[in-house]
Structure 1
């Protein structure tokens, strides 16, 4: 199936980024006509004594894995049984192309893949393209501020059973590797950490091979706003490993959603540059041969 590639910019392009308005849509979305995806948000708080919560996961998602999806489910369970929060929505926020990370597929592909991942598998997780619609890299704190603005200032919060409005708390959802970077001196701006962890807070999923205790010692001043979710079934699937499997020509099925696998194969994503160049060369030779054959027939 052929698809139209939107006017997505390279890291050094000055054009306005655009993405598909929705999966399978011929329309495009830019910052000028951006619309916050609110269709899957809960409209009414089930328990008016609880604090409504929206979970936001920021990252590359290149590609999204089943573990990325499990993070949301485990966080929702954790909130229900261990906190006074009621989860009313969840969002993937893929980074923009300006992030310039190795193995980063173009933003429109990552948005499509995360949309595919949640389309049929979830009723409450959405994908927000606002962050990658920017030409410049956006710090995580600005993304969380954006969600807070959309949820509480634009939408006005969430209704309780008696018709009152209640503000929605926004929190970061991430793996243990992120909290390790936050504990590394100099990697994060102090004022950003203060707002991310001090104001919003973070739900952190334990990850095999990551020692979260040392990181938390460095972040003790924010300990009350960092919730650590035990990973009861160990899962060390990562986007990095998926990309490595692709480069080696190995199967990636059942590590990530099936339809995301199909999308990766269809668009030939995450094969190494040498292989891509070889395939381009083969296509060129084939086209040249066809051109020669046509010319010969015409003569």
Structure 2
């Protein structure tokens, strides 16, 4: 299968990241490795989207700290970036809304034809383009010049919102936001692009808890987008799948990563990290990247039981 014939994937992970751990980064790496091995996918990017402060989870530190820690955790990555959109909204956003936001954003500013775009969402946007540059998606009457899709490549810049378009042959990627100056329209080869939710088996299991998720949201998340699941702490993912009618219905949209259940990163969690910090446990270096630990010590986050 040629590169352009493969499905190009952006992995999106939502969560508290309170704090972000080595386990979170491990999920991205294992998911990309597995999807590439299938021969059907090319992962062109990863997005970390920390939850809004109003989520109300006990011990959740302010988003300004969680965003900074996430940035520090991925500062050496050339394919994973941190997105602040969810934190910058007026209130908490559902996972479904976050997925729809990024889907609509990619379609609007790049002209991509996303394979999991069904209907436009009502997700609010930050703003309209500040410059009147020619749109990337234009000239609808001339199919020969119609840029049907793009692959997003390049190194993540320090600015959270800055992104750039590039041809599929390039080796690195980044993204574009609503306010980017896109410049002249460019032509691209047609590719299939999907945004998939990346999660651990604990989130998958939460789909089985009655009343926790709206049925309509689950249908959109699993049916319209699809999910990539990395097993955590020896979870029985097959048992979880059998306990949800929505999961059984959309089995083809659920990609289960074949990871070593005994891998040390599969048991790393934010909860264990906070406890280690509170008790001065040296094992915290096994859970968190050093720049994140340094930031936590500098700001005195999580040092007390109250957060």
Scaled by the length of structure 1, what TM-score is found?
0.73
Q: CA deviation at 1:261?
A: 0.5
Instruction: Determine the structure 2 residue equivalent to 1:60.
Output: 16
Q: Secondary structure at the match of 1:168?
A: strand
Q: Secondary structure at the match of 1:215?
A: helix
Matches within 5 A, 1:110-149: 110-120=66-76, 122-149=77-104
Q: Secondary structure at the match of 1:93?
A: strand
Q: CA RMSD in A?
A: 1.8
Instruction: Determine the structure 2 residue equivalent to 1:221.
Output: 249
Matches within 5 A, 1:191-206: 191-206=216-231
Tell whether 2:285 aligns with 1:253: yes
Q: Is the 8 A contact 1:97 1:135 kept in 2?
A: no
* Structure 2 unaligned blocks of 5 or more: 113-149, 152-167, 170-186
Instruction: Determine the structure 2 residue equivalent to 1:270.
Output: 302
Scaled by the length of structure 2, what TM-score is found?
0.71
Residue-pair matches, total: 229
Larger CA Rg, structure 1 vs 2: 1
Q: CA deviation at 1:153?
A: 2.0
**Deviant stretches of 4+, over 4 Å:** 159-162
Tell whether 2:110 aligns with 1:79: no
Tell whether 2:133 aligns with 1:177: no
RCO higher in structure (CA 8 A, sep ≥6): 2
Measured in 2, the distance between the counterparts of 1:115 and 1:83 equals: 30
Q: CA deviation at 1:150?
A: 1.4
Q: Rate the CA distance shift 1:210–1:59 in 2: closer, same or farther, 3 A.
A: same
Instruction: Determine the structure 1 residue equivalent to 2:272.
Output: 241
Measured in 2, the distance between the counterparts of 1:216 and 1:75 equals: 19
